[in-house]
Amino acid sequence: MHPWLIGVPGTIAAAAGVIAYGGVYPRAQLFGSTICRTNSARKLAITFDDGPNPDITPKLLDLLAKYNAPATFFLIGRYLRECPELAREIAARGHVIGNHTESHPNLLWKRSTEIRVELRLTHSAIKSVLGAPPKWFRPPFGFRNPWLAGEARELNMRVVMWTLLPGDWRAPSGEWLIGRMQPIADRAKRALQRASSAGTGVKTSTGEIICLHDGSHHEQNADRTATLAALEYWLPRWRDLGLEFVTIENAVSAPAS
Ligand SMILES: [Zn+2]
């Protein structure tokens, strides 16, 4: 091998590593800036992907109403077309609706034209059902590539990621999922304690975004009873810790408190 070629495999491996990091790691900013946290340790943004789901979303809306918890729903376009009334009800109950593509593909290896179609179909569906276009986008599986940021920006949407992905789609039980969601309470306790002992208030720190699922991209009417059970457990406890439930809109645009 020619001496200068010796480093080539390493360079290719390093480049592949950078692409993997930028495209897959939830808080990576390499392929465009994303929203990964709320603007205050006191604010918790609860988000749901892969709905609307006629079997689960109505029960979830009742549960969120019981604890006065506004949330953000990233809808799959083809499901939205099947149940526009349910999407209207989500919005009417004070929640924010975002775009989660038309058919939930892995965008990591998609070209910009394919990404554009996926984003625009759902963008126009939300606009026609709700009367206003979405301002927020969550990529399926959280996977991004260098073209996604530009396509989202053209539609005036900001890309939203998360700080915690408990894996509710594979939850064997509500108890299992309750344990997986424990970090929200642990981190909130630490952040709020730190802020009060430093006497700085919580304005200097940031808060969590949790990514849950009220549906499944594999099939409509997926069972998400573990997600409901875990939220029934955590919502009052999060509230008693002093956490405020916010939509993504209020997580970033309203003044931190
Ligand atoms: Zn999804």
Name the DSSP letter for residue 200: S
pLDDT > 60? residue 2? no
Helix (H) or strand (E) holding 209: strand 209-213
6 C-alpha to ligand 1 centroid (Å): 41
Q: How far apart are CA 96 and CA 215, in angstroms?
A: 16
Contact 87, 129 (CB under 8 A): yes
138 C-alpha to ligand 1 centroid (Å): 8
108 C-alpha to ligand 1 centroid (Å): 14
* Residue pLDDT, tens place only, 62-104: 999 999 999 999 999 999 999 999 999 999 999 999 999 999 9
pLDDT > 80? residue 199? no
40 C-alpha to ligand 1 centroid (Å): 26
Contacts of residue 252, defined as CB under 8 A and 6 or more positions apart, other chains included, come to 35, 38, 39, 158
100 C-alpha to ligand 1 centroid (Å): 7
Q: What local confidence, expressed as pLDDT, does residue 1 receive?
A: 47
Q: What local confidence, expressed as pLDDT, does residue 32 receive?
A: 76
Identify the band that residue 198 occupies on the pLDDT scale cut at 50, 70 and 90. confident
Q: What local confidence, expressed as pLDDT, does residue 7 receive?
A: 57
Q: What local confidence, expressed as pLDDT, does residue 201 receive?
A: 58
Contacts 24+ apart (CB under 8 A), 236-244: 236/67, 237/185, 238/44, 238/184, 238/185, 238/188, 239/67, 241/185, 241/188, 241/189, 241/192, 242/42, 242/188, 242/192, 243/42, 243/43, 243/44, 243/184, 243/188, 243/207, 244/42, 244/43, 244/44
Q: Which residue has the tokens 């929640």?
A: 95
2 C-alpha to ligand 1 centroid (Å): 46
257 C-alpha to ligand 1 centroid (Å): 30
Total-model pTM: 0.90
212 C-alpha to ligand 1 centroid (Å): 9
* Residue pLDDT, tens place only, 115-168: 999 999 999 999 999 999 999 999 999 999 889 999 999 999 999 999 999 999
Q: What local confidence, expressed as pLDDT, does residue 30 receive?
A: 75
Q: How far apart are CA 51 and CA 209, in angstroms?
A: 18
185 C-alpha to ligand 1 centroid (Å): 24
